[in-house]
Amino acid sequence: MSAPGRVYLVGAGPGDIDLLTGRAYKAVVEAEVILYDRLIPPGLIDHAHPDAELIYVGKEGRGPSMPQAEIDRLLVEHGRAGKRVVRLKGGDPFVFGRGGEEALLLREAGIPFEVVPGITSGIAAPAYAGIPVTHRDRASAVALITGHEDPAKPESAIDWPALAAFPGTLVFYMGIGQLPRIAERLIAAGRDADEPAAVIERGTLPDQRTVVATLSTIAERAAAEGFRPPSITLVGSVAALREEGVRWFEERPLAGRSVAVTRARAQASGLATRLRALGAVALETPAIKIVPVDVGVALDPSGYDLVCLTSPNGVRLLFERLAAGGRDARALAGATVAAIGPGTARALREHGVVADVVPERFVAESLVEALAGVPVRRALVARARVARDVLPDALRARGAEVDVVELYETVAEQLDAGERAAAGAADYVTFTSSSTVRFFLDALGGADAISPRTRLVSIGPVTSATLREHGLEPHVEASEHDVDGVVAALLADAAS
């Protein structure tokens, strides 16, 4: 029999992936088996090792779920098999997460375990709603209460008179379905019916919603506005602080706006993260995929007096090809290095190369103009397989010998029905290249699949021209033709 493995009872936090702890992330990426719940941050499971066994054990309110006994069996089975197992839970495993029960089970089975705490939603959701659960003048204590007790219990374990008399903030988890009863029991036990109360739905996520009312009216208000699980209910005078100026989450510049990001998956997450930090619901709908060409084939740039790079992808793959031949940035010594745009120049700097020429406008025509005074005898243009020939044609017209090296090709990325529907109905769709336009429209089945109210954001004139070729007029065009320019243009349009 193999030696037992180790089980990690991991709290994934309240929903915003940026609130995940470093220890929790490390456990996820190193796990061999992950048993994960429904309420974990979107996209977190994508960081698991490709060979990890992923087992969904999520529990749906009022819906089907895996019995706890089966979850227990799986934890013991994989732990005894010597695996590194992560039991991944929303929030904190020891705050209404049954982590204590699972820890006792593992101890009894002789399986080593470790607890990785997470930020609990009862604290985080109110904070994102602008409600501190404690305040020196209003609440010196906070009570965390489950609003959904075990139905097998013969009677409630909650002491309603004690809660009604509690001198501080009450935070109920999983209680939206029981909210009328909770309010009724508290008021009947002596809690002030006019005390402020709040319900926070999908706390810390971009589409978080909050409603504030009194204890006697909060259930009616939440029902009228269609609040659903997962929601946190808070009762206490601190709830009034939201309207007194502590609210901040909804005041971010893109709060509540949905933005579809059509970049390649490896690049989309960076832009999506920036948009989420500004309050947007960022929809990662990558229409393209970057596929390297001639992987592992060495590239020798010596002998060229001009080397042109047209994208950050090109820079990354150029250096991979250099490395395949045992070379590094020194192979570019003696050549004039030109980059289209600051993003490409930034990628070069990450490899220790400062671009000699970066045009003011980030299109091939501007690079041709910028190179007008640069002597060119022999040039290397490293780019995508399908690209405009403006630059190599202009250099050849000057009498230069030009070699075009195709480092990668852009191909279609498949989108599922849900991704297509969400992107077509988004408030904004961002396009960072002509290929994102073509492949995105192909994935959606044509321009008619985009809502008339959706605003189209283009990175620059070439991408805008491609949109027009497909019968679409860009509503927003970045003046700086890079991702920073796209974000700036989007912010300006949202504020107008």
Contact 118, 86 (CB under 8 A): no
**Residue 37 annotated in active site:** yes
Cα–Cα distances in angstroms (integers) from residue 125 to residues 76, 132, 180, 364, in the given order: 33, 10, 21, 48
The answer to whether the CB of 405 falls within 8 A of the CB of 299 is yes
Could you tell me how many residues make up the chain? 496
Gap between the Cα atoms of 26 and 28, Å rounded? 5
Q: Is 59 a catalytic residue?
A: yes
Catalytic residue among 37, 92, 427, 482: 37
412, 442 Cβ separation under 8 angstroms: yes
Residue of 89, 92, 174, 427 marked active site = 174
Of the candidates 59, 66, 289, 356, the residue annotated as catalytic is: 59
Rounded Cα distance between 314 and 45, Å, is 29
In this structure, are residues 118 and 40 in contact, taking their beta carbons and an 8 Å threshold?
no
- By annotation, the residues acting in catalysis are 37, 59, 174
